[in-house]
Structures are given as C-alpha cells and as structure tokens.
Amino acid sequence: MNKIMFFAHLRDRVGEESVTRDVSGKTIAELKQLLEEEFGLKLDSVMAAVNEEFSSDEEVIQNGDTVAFIPPVSGG
C-alpha cells in the first residue's frame, strides 16, 4: 500500500490530506492519470515527490512508498 499526499488546492479538491492506494509498480505518470480520473485533478504541472525526494514522471513507485503532489508555488 502507498500513502498519497496532496498539498494546497489539491488537498481542497480531494477533500483530504492523503489517501491510501496500492499503486506499487506504477509510474508517477500512471498515478497522475488515475488521480485525474478519480478526483478530477489537473496534475500536468504538479511536482511529485517519492519518500520526500522530487521524482520524475518515469519513477516507478515501490510498495510502502509515500508519494506527495505539490502544485507550483508563486509569490512575491
């Protein structure tokens, strides 16, 4: 099983800080597609981190990994 965490407006859209899913063996890109379908999210410009390290869309998720999705931050 994997913990999937959401930050900022993604958390608001999902309605929870995190969800648990079995996504081991899937890539970040595949997980993004699943989440877009399940929650209606737009994740093309969102950064992903696996176990607190930024990851590419090609990263393969392992059993027990924690995946976080972090939208771009703007400020001034």
pLDDT in tens, 21-39: 999 999 999 999 999 999 9
Q: Above 80 in pLDDT, residue 66? A: yes
Question: What is the per-residue burial (b if ≥16 Cβ within 10 Å, else e) of 30-41?
Answer: ebbeebeeeeeb
Helix, coil or strand: residue 14? helix
Residues of the chain with pLDDT > 70, as a percent, come to 96
Average pLDDT for 52-67: 98
Can you give the pTM of this predicted structure?
0.93
**Bridge partners of residue 60, in order along the sequence:** 27
User: What is the predicted pLDDT for the residue at 76?
Assistant: 57
Query: Which is nearest to 29 in space by CA: 67, 64, 73, 63?
Result: 67
